[in-house]
Structure 1
Amino acid sequence: MNLGEQIRAGGPRVVGAVGAVVFALLATLAAGLYSLTESQAVALEEWIPSSAVAPDAPRRSSVLATDGSVIATFGVQDRVDVDLTDVAPAVQDAVLAIEDNRFYDHGAIDPVGMVRALTANIAAGGVEEGGSTLTQQYVKQAQVAAAEDDDDVSRATETTISRKIREMGAALAVESRLDKDEILERYLNLVYFGNGAYGVQVAAQRYFSKPAKDLTLAQSALLAGIVRAPTAYDPIKNPDNATKRRNVVLTRMAEVGRINREQAEAAKAEPLRLEPTPLRLGCADSPHPWFCGYVVAEVRAMKSLGSSPAERMERLYEGGLTIRSTLDPKVQQAAEAAVDDHIARGHDIASAIVMTEPGTGAVRAVAINREWGEDTDAGQTTVNYALDRDQGGSAGFQAGSTFKPFVAAAALKKGIEPSKRFSAPSSVTVDGFTNCATGRTYPPYSVGNYEKRSFGSLDLASATARSVNTYYVQLAEEVGTCAPPELAEKMGVRRADGEDLSRVPSFVLGVDEVSPLRLAEAYATFAADGKHCASRAIVGITEPDGGELDVPGRDCDQVIPKDVARGVTKLLEGVIDGDLDDRTGAKMSLGRRPAAGKTGTTNDATAVWFAGFTSRLAAAVWAGYPEGSRPLKNVRIGGQRYETLFGGALPGPIWRDAMRAALKGQPVRDRDQARD
């Protein structure tokens, strides 16, 4: 049985016998420490390392959108530090009155306070008042906050004389390093106020939805009263107890002259008037969990945050970082609304969209028609279908005809004119593809058009607008097996499993499984006149002391000639706003705003896509069954039945609506003038 248990069990007799002796010993020790010479104090300070005095407590990190709004918070403790000048004076007065009214008058240890506490405890027949100074309490709270396991917590809180002696020494060292205002500020930022709120700023938000600087006298007294027993005085669950404790604090403030009795009585008469803000930590509680997941993936890979993914995640959860992301709230809202409007959350068919800014690589939106969570029976998932597998995404989905523009780009780069014509029958067999590694010829490869449709002689523009397979496989044969995938990789495309793209005849029909992120990145390269910029979700990270960490900057390279990129753009504009009535993207027009894009449907209809861009924004939309093997046939979405789902039927309208809303209010500019 430890000291505290002995006192509580024995009542007045033990307090009188054991308690008096212990407190007398501690008071004597405190007086001795209090009267140390300067050289002795310095020696004690050197003996006690800074980490043992008051280790840094874990602080939460915040992820911000481009407008400064918070889109996610991470932490093992919900804590935000503020300057003492940003804490209402009433809060400071209330805490000092109830915890250590003589804080500014005594040193780290207060023998007078210990004797007063001893007298009060003997009179009460139990432990009713502590003799610890605010500095001692700060030391104890700091060591608890920095504890790595239960043993550390026990050492910091055990009711033993040895622990009390260590606490006294550490408090003395703290006061030799920090002035009183600094100690009070750190204490207020550290102490636990219940309901997951660490520090006065978070407590003010948790209970009253306001900053600490705006707290009233009654609210300040309530928070000060919670500290002693956060569960017993929880104003949400135990409002009566919390009110009584608040009034005790107000009475004490009046007794010590920090307020007058009239002020105390007026504050006591006030109701609690709580306006709670719930605790929200991690992507699960983010309003934009899928973009949040992308930020976490980048943090995990960022070398400036640590030498390993585990260290980087520790910095995220405990380092108090402010992470400035690329998320644009207007674009994100447009993406989420478009996905949700076209296919309800919880539908068996999933859809994901990524929207990227050409010329910068800044990802402005990520949305999926799924709730973030682990309850799969309720349709939740933590697999981010918008990203690659090593980013928390899936193994990807076959891209279908959205890969045809890479073949077109390789053809234009090789000098093949858009007027190049091929006969496009319902099916064709080609035998001129060669293996990039060995130089050997592939076996004959047969391809057919949708619904076995036959065309006559076509040029590149009409074949692109109609997405004619038999034309494109002949074009791919002439371009060669190697050039299109090499070009696509330079534009940012890779398989979602991290492997290189396939060098096979069927590349032209999009047999590689990719993520919406990579496809949007590649189409943004076309929009930026052939300048590829690596996708990124983070533009800056600020540490608690204001220092800036190194983050990957804008990483852009001209990977295809400008005239080639513009040539492909012109072809893809014909898909949306061309003259052919049977163009596949006819329903995706953005009106007066020039737009380019391409539908994509796999041969067995297991995945459908639309990827496209304007000069300001590029986006890729995927839809399909998450397992990726079920054909999208005989499906019903939003009351409409589809015998077979195509890229122009679901992903295309999602893309169109997202782009219209995201670009609303933006001037419509001529593409060529804007790029010159």
Structure 2
Amino acid sequence: MSAQNSKPVGVFGAILGFLGFSALAGVLVTAMVTPAIAVTSLTANNTVGIFEDLPDYMVINQQSQRNTLWALQAGEQVPFAQIYDQNREEVAWDEVSQFAKDAAIAGEDERFYEHGGVDLAGIVRAAVNNITSSTTQGASTLSQQLVKNLLIQEALTYDTEEKRQAGLYAAQASTIDRKLKEAKLAIGLEKRSTKDEILLAYLNIAGFGGNTYGIESAAQQYYSTTAKDLTAAQAASLIGIVQAPPSRRPDIAENRERNQVRRDAILGNMAEQGMLTKEQYDEAIATPVDDTTVIVSAPRNGCLSASGAKHFCDYVIRNVKNLEALGTTEEERAENWKRGGYDIYTTVDLDQQAHAEQVLAIQTPADEARFELGAAISTVEVGTGRIVIMAQNKLFDNSGEGGGPSTTAVNFNTDREYGQSSGFQTGSTYKLFTLVNWLQNGHGLREVVDGNVKGYSSFPANCQGGTMELADPYKPNNFTRTSAGRVSVQTATNQSINAAFINMASKLDLCDIRETAKSMGVHRADGDELLIYPSAILGTNEIAPLTIANAYATVASGGILCEPIAVDKVVDANGTEFEGQPQKCNKAISPEVAAAAATALKGVMDRGGTGSASNPGDGTALLGKTGTTDDSLQTWVATASTKVASAVWVGNIVGSQVMSRVELASGNANTARHRIMKPVQTALDGSPLYATTADFPEPPPELIRGSTQSVPNVTGQSVDQARSVIQSLGLAFSDGGTIASELPAGRVASTQPGAGARVSKGTLVRVFTSDGSLSATVPNVVGTQVKDALKTLNDEGFTSVSVKWTPSVPPDKCEVIASDPAGGTATSKSTAVTLTVNGGVIVPDEDPDC
């Protein structure tokens, strides 16, 4: 460096410094003049050979810069986060104040435009100074300093700490070898680059304290301005930092005097070299370096410093490995991201995001102390997968210290890979996939299923050998704790009847239902395979809100699954624009099935449906589904218009607090999901970007009525005959065992559902056979006394016998004259038998004395 360092040295040290500089100067002079003179000295020849063998090629590469995340706000793209390895923003020549360019020359290399990379006169002058003065003086030119900084930056990119440290030492070692290499590279640099290019590169690479590099970032940090707008005083102050950043950076109060001393020296050099007029110099030198002039803007690095959408910011960073614009491999993308200079234009709507965060803060306070209350909402654009909202109640903090119980670095909306969350049980929002598979199998919404609470011992499961046999019958309760009877699938969906959906699953295939969910983009947040146990039908898989929102968007889009994306486009440091995350959309379910599912789910959001409390009632057509897990540990609601789909989760982050037993400031915790979804949906519906008057398409009639069949009358048939008839109609047969019946033993006595009932294809018909225990022949009791007749009938097992009296002459009194059924009739012991008996003289309201 050309400026002086006040550092006392001994005579011995000064002599060594002189000899070192002299040797270096000798080598450089010899090397430079060798082409023009004959060198006969062996020493000279060896010296020149050593110099000529050194590398002389170095490229001024792009240095590590800031990456900036952009998002939509008030209809415009605005930056909301900066991510960088080094706080640097490279600027062009015309974006740097002339004062800064002149200050760099006046302070670091007065003969910059005169030498060829190495200032021999400066070396000699420094050598003489160092042996005759109590201060040391450097002789590195701006070109040499640039070379040194380039080598330092290169060393910082090495993949191991050992290599980095070795590289840093090699770039800064106080040895003749290192100085020779630096000088040779500086000379080569001057041959390949213009002076202005070298000066600009130096200004963009120089360190200004801490993690701040380059004149633009320094101007922003220390004076809250830009490199282009630096005054003479500010420019000289910044250049004054580079020799000793720790002791001269002006954001630290005790450094300001030292900074001003160095600044004033640079201003003096600028004035002497005609870079400043007297008026400019007088104004600059009179400017203090104190609180009135140093206006610090602390670097805002990372998502913790983002102006909004901090968890979404973290999600974007975790997706860098997927951004093809940054390279062909994950390793290349990571390296290019570290180098920086990218503008990342994201999908999030900061206005909708801020509103959602505000609603969450009111309804689900981050500082709730009684239990670990969590809440999150994800909103995606239907038909594109663009993430519009990704908000949660806990504030973002990924610092080592953390921010207390109201903060977290975990993103509740995402999978473990992209936010460290393992997801949450989804409750009945998962019923969507049984509904869709039901429709895929040709069933309809008006088909009637069994909503009664009962046990199931097996389920069809093609990936489990055809059937999943259960050790204990699965018998889930309904939310109301009562049986619902036989209900239509539409009603079962509207009221979220558990038993009805289990009955539907028993007619389908558990493995097929899982495949339907997977085809709609559903996966566990922890990366494991989706469970297929019967309980999974009711939502025991742990899934992220973003995944659930996107599944409902698949229905709303007419069956098209679009993978969620967070980045629209990428612009690199050269201004080249690239595609962000490509929209990957494919047909997941047929448009007809999607339309029928949407019709069913619209009923959920209408009056009387479980999701109606989330419906703003503003005329926007909405589909949706609620979900509540056992004991109300987790609560959900998912909605979708034809423009956007959202999923709200409110529940236990950890722990087992029953949500319905907790009162929050805004109401019961079990219904907080509705108090979140409704205002968020209202804001979306009111935005020109997401408002829509479009309704969902009408489904084909066959998916409304479905495929139904009357249960046949097989009473009196054999079991094999009944099985054949029932199965031929597409119904499932089950032997219900024997019951008491008058029919011959082994014959069908009854079915459940009963004969004539309309049921859907695949419905299980339980067949009950007679045990013959109620079959009997009416004994002939005509001509006997009534008392004896009653005893005879009772002994034969008849349980319903009545007497009808008729007037008669006294000798015939009490004699049975007829029976109905007549004696000898084959019938059931439960059949009512009526005896007609002579009663003599009949007295009203009195039975004859028999």
TM-score in terms of structure 1 length: 0.90
Task: Give 3-state SS (helix, strand or coil) of 1:536's partner.
Answer: coil
Q: Structure 1: any 5+ residue segments left out of the alignment? A: 1-5
The equivalent residue for 1:88 is: 97
The equivalent residue for 1:10 is: 9
Aligned counterpart for 1:428 among listed residues 436, 451, 454 = 454
| 1:422 to 1:675, Cα distance in 2 relative to 1, 3 A | closer
Asked if residue 147 in structure 1 is aligned to residue 147 in structure 2, the reply is no
1:277 maps to a residue whose letter is S
Distance in 1 (alpha carbons) for counterparts of 2:34 and 2:678 = 76
Task: Give 3-state SS (helix, strand or coil) of 2:527's partner.
Answer: coil
Asked if residue 185 in structure 1 is aligned to residue 200 in structure 2, the reply is yes
| 1:34 to 1:21, Cα distance in 2 relative to 1, 3 A | same
Count of residue pairs brought into register by the alignment: 660
1:145 maps to a residue whose letter is Q
Asked if residue 480 in structure 1 is aligned to residue 487 in structure 2, the reply is no
The equivalent residue for 2:728 is: none
Q: What's the offset of the Cα at 1:586? A: 2.4
| 1:668 to 1:16, Cα distance in 2 relative to 1, 3 A | closer
The equivalent residue for 1:48 is: 55
| 1:669 to 1:552, Cα distance in 2 relative to 1, 3 A | closer
Distance in 2 (alpha carbons) for counterparts of 1:583 and 1:545 = 54
The equivalent residue for 2:113 is: 104
Distance in 1 (alpha carbons) for counterparts of 2:447 and 2:260 = 83
Aligned counterpart for 2:295 among listed residues 262, 275, 279 = 275
Q: What's the offset of the Cα at 1:330? A: 2.1
C-alpha contact 2:209 2:245 (8 A) present in aligned 1:
yes
The equivalent residue for 1:135 is: 143
Q: What's the offset of the Cα at 1:277? A: 1.8
C-alpha contact 1:435 1:442 (8 A) present in aligned 2:
no
The equivalent residue for 2:125 is: 116
Asked if residue 561 in structure 1 is aligned to residue 568 in structure 2, the reply is no
| 1:247 to 1:403, Cα distance in 2 relative to 1, 3 A | same
The equivalent residue for 1:291 is: 312
Identify, as 1 or 2, the structure richer in strand: 2
Q: What's the offset of the Cα at 1:319? A: 4.0
Higher Cα radius of gyration: 2
1:665 maps to a residue whose letter is S
Distance in 2 (alpha carbons) for counterparts of 1:90 and 1:675 = 70
Task: Give 3-state SS (helix, strand or coil) of 1:210's partner.
Answer: coil
Q: Deviations over 1:50-83 (max 9, x none)?
A: 46x7666433333332454333333321112111
Q: What's the offset of the Cα at 1:398? A: 0.8
The equivalent residue for 1:351 is: 375
Task: Give 3-state SS (helix, strand or coil) of 2:296's partner.
Answer: coil
Q: What's the offset of the Cα at 1:415? A: 2.2
Aligned counterpart for 1:224 among listed residues 239, 263, 267 = 239
Distance in 2 (alpha carbons) for counterparts of 1:36 and 1:533 = 69
C-alpha contact 2:237 2:260 (8 A) present in aligned 1:
yes
Q: What's the offset of the Cα at 1:396? A: 1.6
1:249-260 equivalences under 5 Å are 249-260=266-277
Aligned-residue identity in percent: 32
C-alpha contact 2:461 2:509 (8 A) present in aligned 1:
no
Identify, as 1 or 2, the structure richer in helix: 1
Distance in 2 (alpha carbons) for counterparts of 1:43 and 1:534 = 60
C-alpha contact 2:97 2:230 (8 A) present in aligned 1:
yes
1:310-459 equivalences under 5 Å are 312-347=333-368, 348-370=372-394, 371-373=396-398, 374-375=400-401, 378-379=404-405, 380-425=407-452, 427-431=453-457, 433-437=459-463, 438-443=465-470, 444-459=473-488
Task: Give 3-state SS (helix, strand or coil) of 2:648's partner.
Answer: strand
2:200 maps to a residue whose letter is E
Q: Deviations over 1:248-303 (max 9, x none)?
A: 22111101110122211111223442332212223333343311221122223456
Distance in 1 (alpha carbons) for counterparts of 2:426 and 2:23 = 78
The equivalent residue for 2:174 is: 159
Q: What's the offset of the Cα at 1:190? A: 0.3
C-alpha contact 1:607 1:628 (8 A) present in aligned 2:
no
Aligned counterpart for 1:579 among listed residues 607, 610, 613 = 607
Distance in 1 (alpha carbons) for counterparts of 2:361 and 2:650 = 12
1:290 maps to a residue whose letter is H
The equivalent residue for 1:659 is: 681
Distance in 1 (alpha carbons) for counterparts of 2:314 and 2:571 = 19
Task: Give 3-state SS (helix, strand or coil) of 1:451's partner.
Answer: coil
Q: Deviations over 1:403-429 (max 9, x none)?
A: 11222222223222221223534x233
Distance in 1 (alpha carbons) for counterparts of 2:659 and 2:274 = 76
Task: Give 3-state SS (helix, strand or coil) of 1:239's partner.
Answer: helix
| 1:628 to 1:389, Cα distance in 2 relative to 1, 3 A | farther
The equivalent residue for 2:278 is: 261
Q: What's the offset of the Cα at 1:483? A: 3.0
Distance in 2 (alpha carbons) for counterparts of 1:432 and 1:254 = 94
Task: Give 3-state SS (helix, strand or coil) of 1:449's partner.
Answer: coil
The equivalent residue for 2:68 is: 62
Distance in 1 (alpha carbons) for counterparts of 2:8 and 2:108 = 25
Task: Give 3-state SS (helix, strand or coil) of 1:659's partner.
Answer: helix
Which structure has more relative contact order (CA 8 Å, sep 6+)? It is: 1
Taking only aligned residues, the RMSD between alpha carbons, in angstroms, comes to: 3.1
Task: Give 3-state SS (helix, strand or coil) of 1:147's partner.
Answer: helix
1:172 maps to a residue whose letter is I
Q: What's the offset of the Cα at 1:639? A: 6.3
Q: Deviations over 1:202-234 (max 9, x none)?
A: 111112233211222222121111112112111
The equivalent residue for 1:3 is: none
| 1:474 to 1:81, Cα distance in 2 relative to 1, 3 A | same
Aligned counterpart for 2:531 among listed residues 472, 492, 502 = 502
2:15 maps to a residue whose letter is A
Distance in 2 (alpha carbons) for counterparts of 1:32 and 1:539 = 58
| 1:384 to 1:46, Cα distance in 2 relative to 1, 3 A | farther
Q: What's the offset of the Cα at 1:654? A: 1.6
| 1:36 to 1:290, Cα distance in 2 relative to 1, 3 A | farther
C-alpha contact 2:439 2:596 (8 A) present in aligned 1:
yes
Task: Give 3-state SS (helix, strand or coil) of 2:638's partner.
Answer: strand
Distance in 1 (alpha carbons) for counterparts of 2:20 and 2:152 = 24
Distance in 1 (alpha carbons) for counterparts of 2:649 and 2:498 = 20
The equivalent residue for 2:672 is: 650
Distance in 2 (alpha carbons) for counterparts of 1:219 and 1:381 = 40
Distance in 2 (alpha carbons) for counterparts of 1:557 and 1:626 = 33
Q: What's the offset of the Cα at 1:561? A: 1.6
C-alpha contact 1:528 1:615 (8 A) present in aligned 2:
yes
C-alpha contact 1:135 1:183 (8 A) present in aligned 2:
yes
Task: Give 3-state SS (helix, strand or coil) of 2:345's partner.
Answer: strand
Distance in 1 (alpha carbons) for counterparts of 2:349 and 2:391 = 12
| 1:447 to 1:587, Cα distance in 2 relative to 1, 3 A | same
1:289 maps to a residue whose letter is K
Q: Deviations over 1:21-58 (max 9, x none)?
A: 3323223333334446499999978851646x766643
Task: Give 3-state SS (helix, strand or coil) of 1:203's partner.
Answer: helix
C-alpha contact 1:57 1:146 (8 A) present in aligned 2:
no
Q: Structure 2: any 5+ residue segments left out of the alignment? A: 38-44, 157-163, 700-850
1:631-650 equivalences under 5 Å are 631-632=658-659, 634-638=661-665, 640=667, 642=668, 645-646=669-670, 649-650=671-672
2:460 maps to a residue whose letter is T
Task: Give 3-state SS (helix, strand or coil) of 1:540's partner.
Answer: strand
Task: Give 3-state SS (helix, strand or coil) of 2:627's partner.
Answer: strand
| 1:657 to 1:275, Cα distance in 2 relative to 1, 3 A | farther
| 1:536 to 1:44, Cα distance in 2 relative to 1, 3 A | farther
Distance in 2 (alpha carbons) for counterparts of 1:422 and 1:674 = 25
